[in-house]
């Protein structure tokens, strides 16, 4: 159970650091790489669920790809008028 707590704390830490970078630099592009690390942690958490390895690996891959698409569209879209 401690292992899951550490994973969740790391995930929360990297997401919050990314938000702080975005707020300080006023640009989401700076926070992009920090959020990529958080996305990798989330993917590993899903991949290491107590399920058969092919299912866990596929689920982790799906989480990473969906998160990457969402992150790219969020960080690099043009600001509104």
Distance CA 25, CA 21 (A): 6
Domain ranges of the chain: 2-75
**Cβ-based burial of 14 (10 A; exposed 0-12, middle 13-18, buried ≥19):** buried
- Give residue 1's pLDDT: 64
- Give residue 47's pLDDT: 83
Q: Which residues contact 9 (CB under 8 A, 6 or more apart)?
A: none
pTM, whole model, 2 decimals?
0.76
User: For 19-54, b where at least 16 C-beta lie within 10 A, e where not — what string?
Assistant: eebbeeeeebeebbebbbbbbbbbbebbbeeeeeee
The mean pLDDT value for 58-81 works out to 83
């Amino acid at each position: 159970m401690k292992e899951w707590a550490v994973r969740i704390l790391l995930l929360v830490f990297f997401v919050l650091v990314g938000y702080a970078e975005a707020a300080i630099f006023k640009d989401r592009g700076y926070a992009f790489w920090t959020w990529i690390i958080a996305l990798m942690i989330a993917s590993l958490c899903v991949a290491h669920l107590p399920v058969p390895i092919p299912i866990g690996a596929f689920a982790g891959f799906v989480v990473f790809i969906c998160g990457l698409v969402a992150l790219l569209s969020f960080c690099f879209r043009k600001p509104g008028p």
